[in-house]
Structure 1
Amino acid sequence: MVLPEGFVVPPWYLLVPVVVILGSVIALLWAIEPPVTDFTVLAFAPWMMFGSSLHVLYKLDAFPESIAPLFSAPMVYAVTAIVAGIVWVIAVFLHVGGLQPTVHRFVGITGTAFFSVFSMFAIFRSVEMGTFEPFWPVISVVVAGIVTAIAWVALSLWFTDVATTTSATGALVVFGHALDGVTTAIGYDIIGVGEDVPLSLLILQTSESLPSAEYIGAGWLFVLVKVVLAMVILGLFREYVDERPQQARTILALVAAVGLGPAVHNTLLFAVA
């Protein structure tokens, strides 16, 4: 078993329309070929976080039962991709029509608005229930920022070409996976949250068996593995970014989403639940 527990397959009458609409949006984007730059990838960071807020609301039973499966895992990724893709298409047409100076600006602002609104719903619901506790989420973000800074400085000093070529996209990849590692470590060592992903659990259990676990916990190894793996991926993509920057940055954006999405989900869930 390599997939997390809790994956839900929604009823066919929800699944089929989502698959059809997602395929249509992807086909349209493929046809118009919008540019993908560092700014584009950064503009989609709020959308990665937006999907996390939807899943947190699902766990808080905030959605009507009839549509709740749309926001379960992995369906929430498809729903988020549809909304973000439609906004991307709209941004392209607005830019071509002279109504927006850039594509990424509209995408980023809209994504930030969506994430802000839905995350505030989760926070307000938590405040009403008396479960709002922001201490560990704030600590997680600060520690992840420090870890990212150290990792990026090290990458810039020893593999300058990798850091220069991948640029802001690379920094987002490292931060997303650093935050995922830190939130997982805090959840496992301090809050007492279980880990659903079998491979992640294996790393945590391996670290827990080491003598150091008694003093510094088991999560440190998971943070190290996540950050090192992120930097290795950037190293492997250096030439690809040089040769085919649009395709390479699109894939790196997905790599960033794999880290940042679960990381923000953990961070927001710790705060509200």
Structure 2
Amino acid sequence: MVLPEGFVVPPWYLLVPVIVILGSIIALLWALEPPVTDRTVIAFAPWMMFGATLHVLYKLAAFPPSIEPLFTAPMVYAVTATVAGAVWIVAVFLHVGGLQRTIPRFVGIAGTAFFTVFATGALLLGLETGTIAPFWPVIGVVAAGIVTAVVWLVVSLWVTDIAATTGATGVLVVFGHALDGVTTAIGYDVLAAGEDVPLSLLILEAGEALPTAEYIGAGWLFVLVKVVLAVVILGLFREYVEDRPQQARTVLALVAAVGLGPAVHNTLLFAVG
């Protein structure tokens, strides 16, 4: 099995319109060529979190059955990209028209608003069912922050060129994958949560087979693999960022999303039980 459990292809009458609209938005963005800087990548972080929140709400059965398939995996990524891309286009025109000082500012504020509203909705559903449990999600975020700080300090001291070149984008990549690793470890070792991704499960099972599993659990190996992989990717992208910064940061934003999206999904899902 290669694909994760829960991989759903929605009906054609939902799939086709989303693909057509998303394709049109990508084509328009390609034509507009908005700048992609560190600030742009950070501005899209709330949108990565928003997509994860939509999937949590799907798991909480918060959407009408008629549109539920839009928020399954991987369809929810396309829906999120469509909304975020549309907002990005609006931000470009507002900036060109002199109504916004910067494009990332509008994108970031809009993404934060979307995430806040829908995350609050998920938390309210948890309150209604009496399943709110914030302790481990808070521990996960704090632990991931500490791991990120330590790793970035080491990177800054030992491979300074990587830290200097990738900047805030690099920090987001490391944090996203650190949070994914930590929350997955907490879910596996503490909350007895299942793991849907076959490769992730393989690493967790490898950690469980080690003698250290009896004392510190199996998840530490997954955290280590995620963080090391993030740093290696940043190292491989260093020259690419120097030569083609716009394209490289766009790809690194996607790398960050692959970590931060599932991480926020885990965190919010644990919080609402």
TM-score (norm 2): 1.00
| 1:146, distance to aligned residue in structure 2 (A) | 0.3
Q: Which amino acid aligns with 1:267?
A: T
- For residues 125 and 195 of structure 1, the distance between their equivalents in structure 2, rounded to whole angstroms, comes to 24
- The alignment partner of 1:94 has SS state of helix
Aligned to 2:109: 109
Q: Which amino acid aligns with 1:22?
A: L
Aligned to 1:249: 249
- For residues 52 and 210 of structure 1, the distance between their equivalents in structure 2, rounded to whole angstroms, comes to 32
Q: Which amino acid aligns with 1:249?
A: R
Q: Does 1:127 align with 2:127?
A: yes
| 1:179, distance to aligned residue in structure 2 (A) | 0.0
Q: Deviations over 1:133-188 (max 9, x none)?
A: 10000000000000000100010111000000000000000000000000000000
Aligned to 1:12: 12
- For residues 207 and 175 of structure 2, the distance between their equivalents in structure 1, rounded to whole angstroms, comes to 22
Q: Which amino acid aligns with 2:145?
A: G
| 1:234, distance to aligned residue in structure 2 (A) | 0.2
Aligned to 1:200: 200
Aligned to 1:87: 87
| 1:3, distance to aligned residue in structure 2 (A) | 1.6
- Residues 1-273 of structure 1 mapped to structure 2, 5 A cutoff: 1-273=1-273
| 1:198, distance to aligned residue in structure 2 (A) | 0.4
- For residues 186 and 94 of structure 2, the distance between their equivalents in structure 1, rounded to whole angstroms, comes to 43
| 1:129, distance to aligned residue in structure 2 (A) | 0.5
Q: Which amino acid aligns with 1:242?
A: E
- For residues 161 and 29 of structure 1, the distance between their equivalents in structure 2, rounded to whole angstroms, comes to 31
Q: Deviations over 1:180-219 (max 9, x none)?
A: 0000000000000011100000000011001000000000
- For residues 258 and 247 of structure 1, the distance between their equivalents in structure 2, rounded to whole angstroms, comes to 17
- For residues 51 and 234 of structure 2, the distance between their equivalents in structure 1, rounded to whole angstroms, comes to 24
- For residues 29 and 2 of structure 1, the distance between their equivalents in structure 2, rounded to whole angstroms, comes to 32
| 1:242, distance to aligned residue in structure 2 (A) | 0.3
Contiguous gaps of at least 5 residues in structure 1: none
| 1:124, distance to aligned residue in structure 2 (A) | 0.4
| 1:229, distance to aligned residue in structure 2 (A) | 0.3
Q: Which amino acid aligns with 2:68?
A: A
- For residues 88 and 128 of structure 1, the distance between their equivalents in structure 2, rounded to whole angstroms, comes to 35
Q: Aligned Cα RMSD in Å? A: 0.4
Q: Which amino acid aligns with 1:229?
A: L
- The alignment partner of 2:190 has SS state of helix
- For residues 43 and 211 of structure 2, the distance between their equivalents in structure 1, rounded to whole angstroms, comes to 43
Q: Deviations over 1:8-57 (max 9, x none)?
A: 11111000001100100000000000000000000000000000000000
Q: Which amino acid aligns with 1:60?
A: L
Q: Which amino acid aligns with 1:33?
A: E
| 1:250, distance to aligned residue in structure 2 (A) | 0.1
- The alignment partner of 1:193 has SS state of coil
| 1:2, distance to aligned residue in structure 2 (A) | 2.0
- For residues 207 and 42 of structure 1, the distance between their equivalents in structure 2, rounded to whole angstroms, comes to 33
| 1:237, distance to aligned residue in structure 2 (A) | 0.3
| 1:257, distance to aligned residue in structure 2 (A) | 0.1
Contiguous gaps of at least 5 residues in structure 2: none
